[in-house]
Amino acid sequence: MSTTLETDFERRTLPLEFPFGISRGTTTETPVVTVRIEDEEGRVGVGGAGPAAHYGETIDTVAAVLPDLLGVVEDVGDPHQLERIERRMRETVRRNPAARCAVSIALHDLVAKRHEVPLYRYWGLDPDRTLETSYTIGIDDTETMREKTETALERGHGTLKVKVGTDRDRENLEAIRAVAPASDVRLFVDANEAWTPNEAVSKIERLAEYDLAFVEQPVPAENPEGLRYVYERSPLPIAADESCVTLADIPRIADRCDIANLKLMKCGGLREAKRMIHAARAHGLEVMCGCMTESNASIAAACHLAPLLDYADLDGSLLLAADPYDGVPMPGGRIDLAGLERPGTGAVRE
């Protein structure tokens, strides 16, 4: 049934609480775009885009294609026609997954609001099968990384992701484990493609002494055989992130890693994310959902996938100095879907 939908979007840049360093560089702010889709009864669906230049998107490219994508939504008219809108958006804009994702999230938010239920209930998921998100400690000098760790622990976080890819990785982990012992804190590391295959195996063997849950993306995505080489020799489980972008990548990484790390901003939307989760399960992989540095306009939606995951790395909004949107409650990093008292994704302007 068609209806009248009104759409718009806004772009802004949000400051981070701390400088955020990975092996490719350091940022102090993050650009985001927020989409609004309003139906004839005044219900508004909200969705966010957190574009990543590493995948060829910027705030400018998102803003450039959104009028065409939102034109598809207005033309179809029925927000419940999620498959039709997704297909037509792909036909209209072949790339730009973050832009398509913002529209996908806003549509799902609106549809769940029209049913007056949280998104996880619309999907029929169990809110008690949830997770604690990791909190990321970015690359910095060793003392600052230790201080960031102490701050995270004071806020109740019990799962941390540490960025690696420097010549001080062991020193940094030594300092972090001194204040976050393995008996209290689960730790994993993310190299963001920093190492060659031989380096990765050697470094992982040395870092394993810090009781790590797994190592994320040790080698460049354009070296799939290198990923296999590391996977076959690593004493720790391997997660694929930059090597795992869309559904088509799942069978390609299935014999090269233990964990598939999907992100809404990489894959283009919630429907594709769910397809990736089911495909990863069919290939015997564990599943993590990660994020960029994003606001709750998008993080809140990703939280509703928690019952389907083994790991969550959904701290994007927690890394902001201030988030213009509230979302799913996450006390101490625990994704509390059952505590969400609003319909839709839970994203609401503060």
The closest alpha carbon to 258, from 228, 303, 219, belongs to 228
The closest alpha carbon to 9, from 60, 61, 53, 63, belongs to 63
In angstroms and rounded to an integer, the radius of gyration of the C-alpha atoms of the chain is 20
Read off the DSSP letter of residue 134.
P
Among residues of the chain, what percentage have pLDDT more than 70?
A: 99
Domains 6-116 and 122-349 share a fold: no
pLDDT tier for residue 2 given thresholds of 50, 70 and 90? low
The DSSP string of 28-92 is EEEEEEEEEEE-TTS-EEEEEE---GGGT--HHHHHHHHHHHHHHHHHH--TT-HHHHHHHHHHH
Question: At the topology level of CATH, where does 122-349 sit?
Answer: TIM Barrel (3.20.20)
Q: How do residues 297-328 score in pLDDT, each as one tens digit? A: 999 999 999 999 999 999 999 999 999 999 99
Distance separating alpha carbons of residues 201 and 191, to the nearest angstrom: 12
Q: How do residues 248-274 score in pLDDT, each as one tens digit? A: 999 999 999 999 999 999 999 999 999
Domain boundaries, the chain: 6-116, 122-349
Range 277-302 average pLDDT:
98
Domain 6-116 indexed as CATH 3.30.390.10: yes
